[in-house]
Structures are given as C-alpha cells and as structure tokens.
Amino acid sequence: DGGITQSPKYLFRKEGQNVTLSCEQNLNHDAMYWYRQDPGQGLRLIYYSQIVNDFQKGDIAEGYSVSREKKESFPLTVTSAQKNPTAFYLCASSIGSNTEAFFGQGTRLTVV
C-alpha cells in the first residue's frame, strides 16, 4: 500500500536526550514537511524539503534538525536544545512543491 509512515506512534524520552522521528513515504513524492502541533493549536512548520539533499527551515526550526539523503525518507531529530519538545509531530509529503500534501499518522512525543 502506498502511503506515509511515521514511527513510532508514541515515544517517551528523558529530558536532555536527542530523539529521532522517522518519516518514510513510498508515493514517489518530491516534497516533504515536518510540523509540530500542540494541544488546541494549529500546525507549525519545522522544516521542509522540496528535493533530495536540500531542505529549508520553517517557522520553528530551533532545536530541530533534519536530513534528506533519500527521496523516500525525511527523519527529524529533536535535540536537547528544544526547550519544550513534548508535542504531536506530523510528517507530510506532496508530489511537487505547490501541490496537495498528505499526512502520516503522527508521532506523539513526551519528554519527562
């Protein structure tokens, strides 16, 4: 089945630890995005990539890092520099940079 897979669905980490969230798509999409959603809030853009080996910072990139070494993969690392990492993280992809995007199921990260 084609789609966007985020793993794990739930993730718990201790404060001060880096953690990497996985996002894989088999839709042959060029563009990929990472968003953060806090309770009762909208989606805030962390990073986006329009093509392999290239990515841009979104509105809240501080404390996060990404890589885009393969077309199908866009992992997000939440570093210890991120002051409030507990949130719902959503990955999306689209065929092109201005076309409709589709979302994975999300990863709920809790840092204690």
Partner 1 sequence: QKEVEQNSGPLSVPEGAIASLNCTYSDRGSQSFFWYRQYSGKSPELIMFIYSNGDKEDGRFTAQLNKASQYVSLLIRDSQPSDSATYLCAVNGWGKLVFGAGTILRVKS
Q: Could you say which of 35, 71, 74, 87 contacts partner 1 (CB under 8 A)?
A: 35
Footprint of partner 1 on residues 46-105 (CB under 8 A)? 48, 50, 56, 58-59, 90, 92, 94, 97-105
Q: Could you say which of 18, 20, 41, 110 contacts partner 1 (CB under 8 A)?
A: 41
What span, in angstroms and rounded, lies between the C-alpha atoms of 56 and 50?
9
Q: Is 7 one of the binding residues for partner 1 (CB under 8 A)?
A: no
Residue (of 98, 67, 76) closest to 6 by Cα position? 76
Number of residues that bind partner 1 (CB under 8 A): 26
- One-letter amino acid at 104 equals G
Other beta carbons within 10 angstroms of residue 17's beta carbon come to: 11
